Chain A
Amino acid sequence: MLTPKRRRRERRAAFLMIAPFLFIFTAFFLYPTYSVIALSFTDAPLIGEGNWVGLANYTKLLGDRLFHTSLWNNFYFVLLTVIPTTVIAMLIALAVSKLKGRMQALVLTLFFLPYVLPVSVVTMIWSWMLDFQFGILQPVIAAITGKPVPVFKNPYWVMPMIAVVTVWWTNGFNVLLLIAGLRNIPADLYEAASLDGATPWQRFWRVTWPLLWPVTALVLTLQLILQLKLFDQVYLLSNGGPFNRSYVVLMQMYREAFQLNHGGYASAIAMVLFLFIVVLSVLQFQLLRLGGRK
């Protein structure tokens, strides 16, 4: 049906339309990806040429205790955020979806509001609220633990508190995704379940949960990728301390590249994180899909 002339025209138009994106993508995404890989095999400083050192950076990473600590802290943080934030978001989404009209809009606005704040505003507010000497939350902490705690200076509190701040900040996004998912569940399914005499609890597990699963899986995957990229909150709240208990991989990348001027080593760190995230997110998504089929 298509004449060769029309096909040529279509191709030309297609090329013109993808060209701007392709150019940007190649220059500022593909090329940097290539250079990070290339740099990771050299001893280059941040700015300037380096020598090929083969796998030396990677073998050094294997024995780098700070890197082990950072990796562990990344995983710990994922543990502290991904599932809790999904659970909290789901509770909020279920509650909000029960409300009607303006009340629903108001409550949703309040829960979503923190998400639009710049990270530094979030950390400034929480640092002040948790200030050891003058923070408004210290009496609350004292009521629970018996005494005030300098949370970002305490090795046991630091990661959980950064997780709390992060969940507060990013949770609204997940709430919205889950509400969208809930709205897509046909109402007649609930009616049918009610007619069968199902309790609310049963309705949740038999209707809501399985039908919401694809969105839940999406939330879990997005959260995993997002939380592994942790840097801003740590840099602004605890700077990796105390005694590296909140040091994370991107923090180490930043330190090696911009404070110690080791561009090559920093690139190797970035590469490892890169691989971790790709492998983990592919794995998780596959697993979650399987989980959903059952």
Chain B
Amino acid sequence: MKTLTRLATATALSLGLAAPAMAQVEVEWWDFLSGGDGVRMKALIEEFNAEHPDIQISGTTLEWGLPFYTKVRTSVAVGQGPDIMTYHLSRLPLALEEGVLSPISAADLETAGLSTEDFFPAAVTAASTDDGQLMAVPFDIHAIVAYYNRTALEGTDWLDADGNLTGLDSVEDMTALLTWAKEEGFSDPLSFQTEGGGGTWRVFYTLLRQQDGEMLTDGEVLAGDNLDKAARAIQIMADWRAEGLIPEQAAYEASVALFSGAKSVLHINGVWEVPTFKDSAADGSLGFDWFANEVPQLLDQPATWADSHAFAVPANPDMSDETRAAVMTVIGWMEEHSLAWADAGHIPAYVPTVDSEAYAELQPNATYASLAKNAAFDPRSKIAGVASPVYDAVDNLIAPAVHGFLSPEDAAAQMKDQLQSLLD
């Protein structure tokens, strides 16, 4: 019935007929949440719509990454953007450069029933311009975690009494585990998105930061020995690939399927896939016992790649006050209901949720909560963030080097050159 109504409305609109006056405010919502967390978000949107007869969210999930941000940029330029969208805080510097966001005023926050004190300070800083103007409302902090097949590791030295990963303190330890798994018949012992894109970047950046390496220092890309650290991070992945310990050119979906199909014993991916495994374990289709831990510290210091989802309002001078108020109501409601979002694996940016008892009991979140203090965010720069030039370098240099098409040293050096030229 809903579809029919919308069909009729769309027909009327497209034929140029005026839509009947509606008391309802329609909020057009865009997101890129196509992982397991997308299901939770859809449920949240439906719940919101049910509770608010006066505001209806009409949600669209677009292709993650570059396609999403291209659509945002183009549609904002022609004044056809959504009313609200999810946005990666790692991309905020690029967003500022492109001018696609509308600042969030104190009055806006008040309408939403929020204040900046409700959020972790780091998240607020990440969501603001350099001079402190808030540009987006943080929703979560998400990181990569190590998913593992508990059933397969049962009874080995790599599980402790509580069933958590243990004994993985160096690259050699990890290699030993993966080699063992390979012999046990796991065709691709550690799966992640090795083809490039976000998956490769997240593992690379984690390995770089675990050596205390930096992408960007004082406007210089991979300065000093950071270049060697980058090369080492690539080398580690290339070695695993050469040994067949990580899959060749795995696309995102394939990397997930390798783990759920028990072809991998470990899977490094974002917390957003927690619902995928939760749901398939619940309906009995997974076929093994799974869990997730913080990514083990294999190098000098603990570090885990992380980013934040936030809500942003696209720049649009024609937005009515009524719609804007409705958008703020949506944001406020979402933050208050962010426990459901935590169930999607994420760490809410909204402090009251994180402080709640229900959150403390949520698994596997509680187990990997420790990663929050080791979170390594992308450098704050217009060359970094989702679908930024860094991602081009990952596709064109890091992933090829992992697969042996060029040496890790060359890949790191060329990456330094290419990215540096964009900054100068």
Q: Which chain A residues have a beta carbon within 8 Å of chain B's beta carbons?
A: 45-47, 131-134, 150, 153-155, 241-244, 258-259, 261
Contact = CB atoms under 8 A, between A and B. Distances in A.
Contact of B74 (A132, A133, A244, A258): A258
B405 interface: yes
A242 B399 contact: yes
A133 B396 contact: no
B334 to A, nearest CB: 29
Contacts of B399: 242
B247 interface: yes
Interface of B: 66, 70, 73-74, 77-78, 98, 195-196, 247-251, 254, 257-258, 263, 395-397, 399-400, 405
Contact of B249 (A45, A132, A261): A132
B395 A46 contact: no
A241 B395 contact: yes
Contact of B66 (A132, A243, A259): A259
Contacts of A131: 251, 254
A133 to B, nearest CB: 5
A151 B387 CA distance: 23
A155 B405 CA distance: 9
Contacts of B397: 243
16 contacts: A46-B77, A47-B78, A132-B248, A132-B251, A133-B247, A133-B254, A133-B258, A133-B263, A134-B257, A153-B249, A154-B249, A243-B396, A243-B397, A243-B405, A261-B77, A261-B98
B119 to A, nearest CB: 31
Contact of A259 (B73, B250, B254, B395): B73
Given A243-B400, A258-B70, 8 more contacts: A132-B250, A132-B254, A133-B250, A134-B257, A153-B195, A241-B196, A242-B400, A244-B396
A242 B195 CA distance: 9
Nearest to B76: A47
Nearest to A243: B396
A259 B70 contact: yes
A244 B395 CA distance: 10
Contacts of B249: 132, 150, 153-154
Given A241-B396, A259-B70, A134 B254 contact: yes
B78 A150 contact: no
B397 to A, nearest CB: 8
Contacts of B66: 259
Given A132-B251, A244-B396, A150 B195 contact: yes
Contacts of B70: 258-259
Nearest to A155: B405
